[in-house]
Protein backbone atom coordinates (compact mmCIF):
# COMPACT_ATOMS: atom_id res chain seq x y z
CA UNK A 1 0.00 0.00 0.00
CA UNK A 2 2.86 2.37 0.84
CA UNK A 3 4.43 1.81 -2.57
CA UNK A 4 1.12 2.20 -4.42
CA UNK A 5 0.60 5.51 -2.62
CA UNK A 6 4.08 6.64 -3.68
CA UNK A 7 3.23 5.82 -7.29
CA UNK A 8 0.04 7.88 -7.03
CA UNK A 9 2.12 10.90 -5.99
CA UNK A 10 4.41 10.35 -8.98
CA UNK A 11 1.45 10.16 -11.37
CA UNK A 12 -0.08 13.25 -9.81
CA UNK A 13 3.13 15.18 -10.41
CA UNK A 14 3.46 14.01 -14.01
CA UNK A 15 -0.18 14.58 -14.89
CA UNK A 16 -0.07 18.08 -13.40
CA UNK A 17 2.64 18.81 -15.97
CA UNK A 18 0.62 17.27 -18.80
CA UNK A 19 2.81 14.16 -19.01
CA UNK A 20 1.50 10.61 -19.25
CA UNK A 21 3.90 7.85 -18.24
CA UNK A 22 2.55 4.83 -20.18
CA UNK A 23 4.86 2.11 -18.84
CA UNK A 24 3.98 1.58 -15.21
CA UNK A 25 5.15 -1.86 -14.05
CA UNK A 26 7.26 -3.35 -11.23
CA UNK A 27 10.40 -3.36 -13.41
CA UNK A 28 10.31 0.44 -13.54
CA UNK A 29 10.05 0.98 -9.79
CA UNK A 30 13.16 1.33 -7.64
CA UNK A 31 13.81 2.26 -4.03
CA UNK A 32 15.88 5.27 -3.08
CA UNK A 33 18.12 5.30 -0.02
CA UNK A 34 15.14 6.35 2.13
CA UNK A 35 13.03 3.37 1.03
CA UNK A 36 10.75 5.49 -1.15
CA UNK A 37 9.73 4.70 -4.71
CA UNK A 38 11.65 6.12 -7.66
CA UNK A 39 10.00 5.66 -11.05
CA UNK A 40 12.52 5.08 -13.84
CA UNK A 41 12.54 4.60 -17.63
CA UNK A 42 10.55 7.43 -19.19
CA UNK A 43 11.02 6.09 -22.72
CA UNK A 44 7.26 5.91 -23.39
CA UNK A 45 6.36 9.11 -21.54
CA UNK A 46 4.80 11.91 -23.52
CA UNK A 47 3.55 15.42 -22.98
CA UNK A 48 -0.03 15.32 -24.21
CA UNK A 49 -2.68 17.96 -24.67
CA UNK A 50 -5.78 15.92 -25.42
CA UNK A 51 -5.26 12.47 -26.92
CA UNK A 52 -2.38 10.52 -28.41
CA UNK A 53 -2.48 7.39 -30.56
CA UNK A 54 0.87 5.61 -30.24
CA UNK A 55 0.76 1.88 -29.60
CA UNK A 56 3.20 1.47 -26.72
CA UNK A 57 3.62 -0.05 -23.28
CA UNK A 58 4.16 -3.51 -21.80
CA UNK A 59 1.49 -6.11 -22.76
CA UNK A 60 0.38 -7.15 -19.26
CA UNK A 61 -0.09 -3.53 -18.16
CA UNK A 62 -1.38 -1.88 -21.31
CA UNK A 63 -4.80 -0.19 -21.24
CA UNK A 64 -7.54 -1.33 -23.64
CA UNK A 65 -7.74 2.05 -25.39
CA UNK A 66 -4.08 1.74 -26.36
CA UNK A 67 -4.73 -1.68 -27.89
CA UNK A 68 -7.66 -0.39 -29.95
CA UNK A 69 -5.65 2.72 -30.95
CA UNK A 70 -8.69 4.95 -30.61
CA UNK A 71 -6.79 7.60 -28.70
CA UNK A 72 -5.70 7.70 -25.06
CA UNK A 73 -4.83 10.14 -22.30
CA UNK A 74 -3.68 10.00 -18.67
CA UNK A 75 -6.37 7.40 -17.91
CA UNK A 76 -3.98 4.73 -19.20
CA UNK A 77 -1.76 5.33 -16.17
CA UNK A 78 -4.66 4.64 -13.82
CA UNK A 79 -5.37 1.37 -15.63
CA UNK A 80 -1.72 0.34 -15.24
CA UNK A 81 -1.89 1.35 -11.58
CA UNK A 82 -4.77 -1.09 -11.14
CA UNK A 83 -2.71 -3.86 -12.74
CA UNK A 84 0.27 -2.95 -10.56
CA UNK A 85 -1.72 -3.00 -7.32
CA UNK A 86 -3.30 -6.33 -8.30
CA UNK A 87 0.14 -7.83 -8.93
CA UNK A 88 1.61 -6.42 -5.72
CA UNK A 89 -1.18 -8.05 -3.71
CA UNK A 90 -1.77 -11.29 -5.64
CA UNK A 91 1.72 -11.89 -7.01
CA UNK A 92 0.77 -12.17 -10.68
CA UNK A 93 -0.75 -9.72 -13.20
CA UNK A 94 -4.52 -10.06 -13.76
CA UNK A 95 -4.76 -10.56 -17.51
CA UNK A 96 -2.23 -13.18 -18.52
CA UNK A 97 -0.20 -16.21 -17.52
CA UNK A 98 3.22 -17.41 -18.59
CA UNK A 99 1.55 -19.81 -21.02
CA UNK A 100 -0.57 -17.23 -22.82
CA UNK A 101 0.51 -15.39 -25.94
CA UNK A 102 0.69 -11.62 -26.19
CA UNK A 103 -2.41 -11.64 -28.38
CA UNK A 104 -4.33 -13.66 -25.79
CA UNK A 105 -3.31 -11.19 -23.09
CA UNK A 106 -4.61 -8.35 -25.26
CA UNK A 107 -7.89 -10.20 -25.77
CA UNK A 108 -8.25 -10.78 -22.02
CA UNK A 109 -7.74 -7.05 -21.48
CA UNK A 110 -10.32 -6.10 -24.10
CA UNK A 111 -12.77 -8.62 -22.61
CA UNK A 112 -11.96 -7.29 -19.11
CA UNK A 113 -11.42 -10.91 -18.13
CA UNK A 114 -9.86 -11.08 -14.67
CA UNK A 115 -10.73 -12.49 -11.25
CA UNK A 116 -10.31 -10.93 -7.83
CA UNK A 117 -9.57 -13.63 -5.24
CA UNK A 118 -11.95 -13.83 -2.30
CA UNK A 119 -9.17 -13.62 0.25
CA UNK A 120 -8.14 -10.04 -0.50
CA UNK A 121 -9.80 -7.19 1.35
CA UNK A 122 -13.05 -5.66 0.13
CA UNK A 123 -11.38 -2.25 -0.07
CA UNK A 124 -8.50 -3.54 -2.19
CA UNK A 125 -10.88 -5.41 -4.49
CA UNK A 126 -13.04 -2.32 -4.91
CA UNK A 127 -10.05 -0.14 -5.77
CA UNK A 128 -8.75 -2.59 -8.36
CA UNK A 129 -12.20 -3.04 -9.91
CA UNK A 130 -12.67 0.71 -10.23
CA UNK A 131 -9.27 1.16 -11.87
CA UNK A 132 -9.60 -1.75 -14.30
CA UNK A 133 -12.61 -0.29 -16.10
CA UNK A 134 -12.49 -0.46 -19.89
CA UNK A 135 -14.26 2.88 -20.35
CA UNK A 136 -11.54 5.46 -19.54
CA UNK A 137 -14.08 8.12 -18.57
CA UNK A 138 -15.45 5.84 -15.82
CA UNK A 139 -12.05 4.83 -14.48
CA UNK A 140 -11.19 5.98 -10.97
CA UNK A 141 -9.13 9.15 -11.24
CA UNK A 142 -10.98 10.45 -14.29
CA UNK A 143 -14.06 11.86 -12.58
CA UNK A 144 -14.61 15.42 -11.35
CA UNK A 145 -12.28 15.11 -8.34
CA UNK A 146 -9.52 13.56 -10.43
CA UNK A 147 -6.71 11.86 -8.57
CA UNK A 148 -8.23 12.93 -5.25
CA UNK A 149 -10.69 10.07 -5.71
CA UNK A 150 -7.73 7.72 -5.52
CA UNK A 151 -6.19 9.37 -2.48
CA UNK A 152 -9.53 9.36 -0.68
CA UNK A 153 -10.37 5.74 -1.48
CA UNK A 154 -11.01 3.61 1.60
CA UNK A 155 -8.01 1.35 0.89
CA UNK A 156 -5.76 4.35 1.53
CA UNK A 157 -7.57 5.52 4.66
CA UNK A 158 -4.46 4.97 6.77
CA UNK A 159 -2.13 6.81 4.37
CA UNK A 160 -1.38 10.47 5.05
CA UNK A 161 -0.46 11.69 1.57
CA UNK A 162 0.79 15.05 2.83
CA UNK A 163 3.27 13.35 5.17
CA UNK A 164 4.11 10.82 2.48
CA UNK A 165 5.00 13.57 0.01
CA UNK A 166 7.29 15.09 2.64
CA UNK A 167 8.87 11.69 3.34
CA UNK A 168 7.56 11.74 6.89
CA UNK A 169 6.08 8.23 6.70
CA UNK A 170 8.27 5.28 7.72
CA UNK A 171 8.76 2.96 4.70
CA UNK A 172 8.19 -0.81 4.98
CA UNK A 173 11.82 -1.41 4.02
CA UNK A 174 14.87 0.82 3.97
CA UNK A 175 17.86 -0.38 1.94
CA UNK A 176 21.11 -0.84 3.83
CA UNK A 177 23.63 1.89 3.11
CA UNK A 178 26.89 0.17 2.21
CA UNK A 179 28.44 2.64 -0.19
CA UNK A 180 28.34 3.09 -3.94
CA UNK A 181 30.03 -0.28 -4.55
CA UNK A 182 27.23 -2.24 -2.85
CA UNK A 183 25.83 -4.62 -5.49
CA UNK A 184 23.82 -7.20 -3.52
CA UNK A 185 20.59 -5.90 -5.04
CA UNK A 186 21.70 -6.60 -8.61
CA UNK A 187 21.93 -9.74 -10.72
CA UNK A 188 25.40 -11.23 -10.89
CA UNK A 189 27.22 -12.06 -14.11
CA UNK A 190 30.46 -13.92 -14.71
CA UNK A 191 33.15 -11.33 -15.35
CA UNK A 192 35.45 -14.03 -16.71
CA UNK A 193 33.12 -14.85 -19.59
CA UNK A 194 34.85 -14.07 -22.87
CA UNK A 195 33.28 -11.74 -25.41
CA UNK A 196 31.60 -13.58 -28.27
CA UNK A 197 33.49 -11.52 -30.85
CA UNK A 198 36.27 -8.96 -30.99
CA UNK A 199 35.33 -5.31 -31.44
CA UNK A 200 35.32 -4.06 -35.01
CA UNK A 201 38.37 -2.10 -36.13
CA UNK A 202 38.31 -0.17 -39.37
CA UNK A 203 41.94 0.92 -39.46
CA UNK A 204 40.85 4.47 -40.24
CA UNK A 205 40.44 7.82 -38.48
CA UNK A 206 38.13 6.48 -35.75
CA UNK A 207 40.73 4.12 -34.25
CA UNK A 208 41.77 6.83 -31.79
CA UNK A 209 38.33 6.65 -30.19
Q: What is the set of active-site residues?
A: 23
Phi, psi of 85 (to 5 degrees): -65, -45
Residue 161: closest CA among 7, 9, 1, 3:
9
Phi, psi of 65 (to 5 degrees): -70, -20
| Coarse DSSP helix, strand, coil percentages of the chain, rounded to the nearest 5 percent | 40, 5, 55
Which contiguous run of DSSP H or E holds residue 198?
A: none
Residue 73: closest CA among 51, 91, 101:
51
Q: What angle do CA 179, 183, 189 make, to 5 degrees?
A: 155
Amino acid sequence: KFYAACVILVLEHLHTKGIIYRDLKPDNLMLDRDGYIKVVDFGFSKEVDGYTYTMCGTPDYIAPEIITMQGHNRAVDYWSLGVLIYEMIIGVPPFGTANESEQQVYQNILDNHFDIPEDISTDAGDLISRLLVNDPSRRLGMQRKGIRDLKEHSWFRDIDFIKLERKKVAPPHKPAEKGIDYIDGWDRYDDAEEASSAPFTSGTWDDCF
